[in-house]
Amino acid sequence: MAAPSSQVAEKYGVPFVTGESEDPRLTERGFKTFFSVTPTTDNIVQDFFAFLEGVSEKKGLSPEKIAVIHANDLWGTGLAIAAKKYYKQHGMDIVADIGYSPALPDLKSEVLQLKKANPDVVFQASFDNDAILSVKSYRALRFSPMAVIAMGASFSSPNFISALGSDADYNFSHTKFHPSLVETRKAARAISDLFKERTGKPIWGTPARAFTATIVIAEAVNRAGSSEPAAIIKALREADLKEGDTIMPYRGVKFNEKGQNLRAQGLITQIRGGKHYVVWPFEFAQREAVFPMPSWSER
């Protein structure tokens, strides 16, 4: 949705700020009105590899084969593109790249392809329904790689855990918000409480990123002192939010000439007992990662 709508915004000179759209190609179009606050897929995949290398060294393991399974939209294919851009730098091979329509009634065929490829690690980009379907198929077909590492989205959603129960455990997810941030970000607790009051659920990555983008817009409008698009665009280009100015683990917000936030960064969590725990970066880890994931017969 961000790609076509931002094209219209560019045509009319209207500032467009996204807090959730991760495809790095969005800021490679030469647009003057587009700004991305979130880490891109490139950033996320680099975090995947950094985490894998660090946890493998700790555990004395050497994963070599990666498979990518993803929704076949711009966002999902961005994961596959980014993985193919960086895997050689990390001495790994990609043994499968499986795209699928999120409208599929099940993912058994795709999971059978994964099982045949026999990867050590799976990188995944899915929405709520297809993420749940994929894990159900992993269990039914006894597919047990060392790790499933997902782009946040559905794997970070409360729906994922509530639908799967204990089957959600041990999955890894790249996220941009974690409840532990309420202790370290001055506004995070207040925003989390307000979100829970309105929705009945604790705040998580996607709405936290949307809120952050909204705050970036508000801060730019305040500095611009105007509702004129050109004035707001100028203010966005001059944005200089510090680490404590957001509820995210970002180092702040400062855009490069392409409109990408240079201070964006994420966390990797693992689900244990129905809760997400930060396992990377290691200095922020709440728990040590369980790696490899236990097989279905060992759970």
Model confidence at 265, pLDDT cuts 50, 70, 90, reads confident
- Angle formed by the axes of helices 188-199 and 205-224, to 10°? 120
Q: How far apart are CA 112 and CA 110, in angstroms?
A: 5
HSE (side-chain half, CA atoms, 13 Å) at 112: 4
Q: φ and ψ at 186, to 5 degrees?
A: -60, -30
Q: What is the DSSP letter of 91?
A: T
pLDDT at 201: 86
pLDDT at 243: 86
Q: Could you give the percent of the chain with pLDDT greater than 90?
A: 81
Question: Cβ contacts of residue 168 below 8 Å, gap of 6+?
Answer: 135, 160, 161, 271, 274
Q: Which residues of 172-193 are buried (b: 16+ CB within 10 A; e: fewer)?
A: bbbbbbbbbbbeebeebeebbe
User: What average pLDDT does range 202-222 have in this prediction?
Assistant: 94
Least confidently predicted of 7-11, 53-57, 166-170, 205-209: 205-209
Helix H or strand E segment including 24: none
pLDDT at 152 over 90: no
Q: What CATH topology corresponds to 2-38+189-245?
A: Rossmann fold (3.40.50)
The whole-model pTM stands at 0.81
The string of pLDDT tens digits covering residues 52-105 is 999 999 999 999 999 999 999 988 998 999 999 999 999 999 999 999 999 999
pLDDT at 194 over 80: yes
Least confidently predicted of 7-11, 61-65, 242-246, 273-277: 242-246
Amino acid at 227: S
292 cis-preceded (ω within 30 degrees of 0)? yes
Identify the CA nearest to 149 among candidates 236, 60, 57, 83: 83
Least confidently predicted of 28-37, 43-52, 154-163, 226-235: 154-163
Helix H or strand E segment including 273: none
pLDDT at 114: 97
Give the chain's mean pLDDT. Answer: 94
User: What average pLDDT does range 185-209 have in this prediction?
Assistant: 91
User: What average pLDDT does range 98-113 have in this prediction?
Assistant: 95
Q: Where are the domains of the chain?
A: 2-38+189-245, 42-176+267-298
Q: Which two tokens stand for residue 106?
A: 């099940």
Q: Which two tokens stand for residue 228?
A: 């004129």
pLDDT at 139 over 80: yes
Same CATH fold assignment for domains 2-38+189-245 and 42-176+267-298: yes
Question: What residue spans of the chain are helical by DSSP H?
Answer: 2-12, 41-59, 74-86, 108-117, 128-140, 152-156, 158-164, 188-199, 205-224, 229-237
Model confidence at 153, pLDDT cuts 50, 70, 90, reads confident
Q: Which two tokens stand for residue 55?
A: 């946890």
pLDDT at 204 over 90: no
Which CATH number describes the domain made up of 42-176+267-298?
3.40.50.2300
- Three-state DSSP at 60 gives coil
Per mean pLDDT, which of 62-66, 172-176, 198-202 is the most reliable? Answer: 62-66
Q: What is the DSSP letter of 285?
A: -
CB 93 within 8 A of CB 65: yes
The string of pLDDT tens digits covering residues 229-248 is 999 999 999 999 998 899 99
pLDDT at 7: 98
Q: How far apart are CA 164 and CA 282, in angstroms?
A: 27
